[in-house]
Each structure stands twice: as C-alpha cells, then as structure tokens.
Structure 1
C-alpha cells in the first residue's frame, strides 16, 4: 500500500511553532521596549516632583565666608633703602690763570687736573696744580706767615708730604714738604724749599675736569692769561621732591656716602662733596655737562642756563636709615585713625598708638609710639569688624 504524505495525515502546524502549542492558537509577544520607557518616565517624574517639593539648599562652597577679624604680626629689620633723584648745586665756573711765560713742552691734563700733580710743563719745568682753601697769590719762603701759608700747609699735609697742618707759618717742615713735592714731580735740582707762584696753578677743588685748555705742546703761554676753564665745584646735593625725615639717613651718590641729617633735605658737607667730585662717575657727569654747556652757549644760552638745565634732570642716588630699625609688619587695614605718621592698632580689644615707619605692598611697617621694642608688642592685631567704631587717642 502506498505511503501517504504528512500533509494528508491531519491539520498542519505552523513553521517554527514551538512544540506543545495547541493547533489553531496564535502566540502574543509583550512589548519589552515600551515597558522600559514607561519605567524611565515614571522615575523622572518622581525625581522632578521631589526636587520641586523639597526646600532649596545652598551648596557649602557658596555659603557666606566667615569674617576675618585678626591677623598675625611679623617683625622685620627695616632700613628704608630706596632710590631717589638728587639735584647738584655748583659754584660758578672758573677761568684758570697761568703765572709763567714760555713754551708748553708737555700736557698732563688729559684726565683732568689733580692737586699735587703736574698740569703741564713750560720750558721743561713742571707746573703743579694745588688746591688750597685760600688762593695762592705770591712767592712763599721760610719764615712767611699768613692765611695762604696755612692753606698750603694743610694741603701738603693732606697729600702726605709731612707739612705742619693748622699753622700759618712757613716752617722747616714746610720747606721739607715743598722739596718732597718737587721730587715727586721729577725735579731734582735747584730745590731750595721755596714755592714760586710761577710754578703753581691754583685749583678751587682737589680734582677738576678742564675745558678750553690752551696748554697744548708747542704753544706759547703768557703769565696772567687764561690757560683753561673748569666747571663750578660741587657745593651741595639736594633731594629732588624729597621730604625731610625724622632720623639720620645715609645718602649714596656716585658710590660715595654721606649723612643726611634728620629734618634735612640737603647735604653740603665739603668733605662729602669733595669725595663725590673725585669719583670717576662724577667726572664723566661733569664732562657731559661741560659739553652740553658749550653746545648751549653756541645756541645762545649762557653757561649758567645750560648748567642749570642739566642739574634739573637730577642724579640717581640712594638713601637708607643710618641706624636700621626693628618694625612690626601688619596689614595696612589694621592701622586706623592715621594722621600723618601716627595711628593706632588694636589687639585683644586694647588700643595701641603706633608710629608709621613705612609701607610695602598692602602692609604697614610700624613701631609702638611709646618707644618700646616691637618684639615686646602684640602677636596679633584686630582687623575688619573687630576695629570698626574704635577711635585712636591723640596726645
């Protein structure tokens, strides 16, 4: 008997239908993706409602900072060193006279004129420059007396020739000193110890730059005529736009130091001015000023006008306290009731009068007004609201 196919053996089952599924039924699939979306939406709505219903809270980082009411006190050594500008004051420029006649055989003025050294040579004899407090105007010899003799003795003593300083007599020591001067210049003959005015050019200062110099080798010079011109001597230095201080200060100009007295804005100490004048830096300054003075005269200015304009430009200098101080270093806002250089600070609710010494980048440098040392003062000071309303007692 022939085999029948499976199609004829009864109702067929759908392709891929799972075993055990009753014939004639259809399997339904649940939408999983839709379920996930519903869950997410429900959670979002819940969070939003909670955020809306709960009270607002500021993050801790945005909360109001606590007010600072105290600050530490530091102690430092303070010398008030700072750069300033100073104005030099010069005497009038001077014409220099030669006291001999003849032919110039050597010129020694290339680096300026220096007391005790030869300025030039006339007929092979050195002509010495001497800076004396009183101009030399006559021949001097043993036994002479006068202000010019005292000035000669003082300068020869300063130069190290052993003359008797502070005496107005031409003594045997003066004779020996004059001989030593000439030997130092190379003169070994005709040394009688006298000083002939023909052998001297008088200087108003120890060292000086020279201009309009006529001591050129080969030229003729005549006694009583001008041999050259030197700029005016430095007589004082003043602070430019500077205020007086209540303590001595050390001032440094061209590497030379002097003392600017308390309450002063000008230093005119002759010894200090002489040291400044002798410095190489000042010589360069003087030569530059002299050149500008000549240019000014060629343009119609007087030498005085030109020198004045040069001086107004000022010279760089520094000042510092001669005796450095220990000071308290506090915030500038800690000092209240400031009047001039006086004020007050507060510590532990106690008001302390102070003197303001200086300032540095938002910091006040102070000392107790009663003269006590800063190390004995408070370790902290009050600031901000802690000093609001406090007053500083006067007197």
Structure 2
C-alpha cells in the first residue's frame, strides 16, 4: 500500500439550517434543529409530513438561470458546495494538472426532484398513461443519469482525471470520499473533489418511505421529530443537502501552507447480504467495517475520542449500531461520546455520510462533540454516552464516523488530526 496520506483542506456544506460550513457548525454546536413541516409541496396526503429542507437560493451561490434549468436541485447543491470547498482550500485549480485532478460524488436517489416534477408535466399531473415527451425540459437526460452530478462538478473545477458517481444508498457519502482517498493513495490523482448530494424531498420519495413506515409521523412537533436513541423515537426525518471536500496528499498540503482540517486515516465498507431493509441485531457487519478501517488507519480502538453515529432514529438502526460499537471497541465504547447529527439536520440519504464527515472534521477542528438533540429518555437497549441535548467540549483527536444503508451496506471512516497523531 502506498504511504501517501490524504487530508481534507477544503470543506463546503449546504445543510438544513446551515448554508455554508460556518453556519452548519454553529447549528450543530448550539444543538439547534432544522426540521420542519414540508414546504416544497402539499404533504397532507402523506403519513409523514416533516422534513429538513435547505434554505438554498441558487443565485446567491453564483448559479445562473441556465444552470438552474439544466441541473436538478441535487446537482445545484453539489456545485454550490464545491465552490465553497474550493475557496476554502486556497488551491488555484486553474494551475493544477487537470489530468491529476478528479471528482467523486455520491448520491442515493439522483435527480429525484427533477424526475418527479417532469413526470408530472409530461403526464399532465398523472392523468395520461401514455406521456408526451415534448413537454419535458430539454435536459431531462441529465436528470435520468446520476453521472451528470460528477460531470457538473468536474466542469466547475476543470477536473479531467478520474470522475465517478458512487451510489450505495445511505452510505454513498462515506463511500464516495473513501474511493477518492484510495485514488490519491494509489497515485491515480493528486487532488480530488469528493463528497455527495441528495435532494429527495419529493412526493415519490415521501410515499416510498411512508409505505414501509420508516419515517416519523410526528407531524405536530416537527422541531423535535428526529429523536435518535430516544425511547420515544418512531422513525427518521427525511432531509436534503450536500457536502464536498478538497482532498490532497499531506506533504503537498503542508508544502503550500494549507490549513488541514483532518487526515482520513482509514475507511472500509461491508454488506450484510441479509435483507433489503433489515439489520441483524448483533451489528457484526458494521463492527467488521470499523475493525478494518481502524486497521488501515493503524489506530487502536481505544484511541477513538468520538463516534459520529449513523443514528437515524429508527429502533432497529440505533440498537444495531450500538451493538456494533460495543463489538468493535469493547469496553472503550462505554467511555466514548457518541452522537447523531441527524437529530438536527435530518437524514439526507446519500448526502448524509459526507455531511457527517464534515461534522467529524469540524469536531476535530474545534475540540467539540456536537449533541444528539431531542434525546430526553434513553432507550435502555442503547446504553452508551449519546451526548444528549448540549454540545460537549472534548479533546477530539480521532473520530469514527459510520453509515448504514438499505441493501445491507455498512461503512466506517476514521479521521484524525495528523499533528496530534504524530505526537
């Protein structure tokens, strides 16, 4: 394995309640929630009517009318997050070798909002069984093919190296960044723009999760609807958003005097090969992903200072990953703060893994563990330290962030402060 070490030198985030990395961190560190009643469409026919929406105005992020017409909302979020990450990194992308600069973007459901809206148009609101394609926007193909997301980001940064979309459900945001790290480590690229984006708050997505009762019906109290690890939790809150990073080799970053947020020291992904939506209660597959990620990072489990949990707010998931933490970290799991930022920004499907990586890097940056909002009564089967309600000042040198997705995907990533790690 190559000795190249990969670090984060730029962060861009568009999340519910936090447009921009600075506002995003303020929301998390203050323990505020951004969940509310759905405003994008009339949610009254649906069981779950709450969501975590991003207050996103494309023009404020330099997107003109033609770009807005061409790109689905998720692609717009990805490009806007990319522009923030590039500016934050201080890299002059026009001076880079374009063939050594790549892009990986994760997304679980692609251009859902665009496809949903266009179907409504070509079918005359669902009235026509045989749709009339002449009424569709001219860029409908870009909505259909998720690879357009990576192409838009590559165009925005002038990247002509590896360009990939990673779609592994709700672990896409971790897996896309993990793939980018490996490309730098193996020498296929020097700089990667990596992250994920999803904008799934549309009637079709809400209906799908309604059908399996995965989302919360707590419509009378949207601000407290997302309750990971709480005994009263009854499903997740659908969200949207994007997070994108500039990744580069540690030596190169230091040579140019870049600010380094964190090193991505280890990553692994596993699948339980068990059930589309079900999870085994012992958390064995997630525990295995954690073990391999720690081994790759060459960091023992008792060096983990904070766990950024998947913490979706479903009983099955919260118990599953609690078991995985115990299985992989042993007694140290009981001494390690754990929290779920989905309590504040909802579950943005494929985007959330990257948004949680951003939260993990910023936790290292600030030595603060964000809280699990709305956690008042802990489930007795979830007996770890979930940092309820209020952020905690905490020496945070090394963070474990995990993801769990439909299809059985389980991913884990280890981030650390490279200077503290050396000491």
Identify the TM-score tier after normalising by the shorter chain.
under 0.3
- Return the index of the structure with the highest Cα Rg: 1
Which is richer in helix? 2
TM-score, with length taken from structure 2: 0.22
TM-score, with length taken from structure 1: 0.23
Which is richer in strand? 1
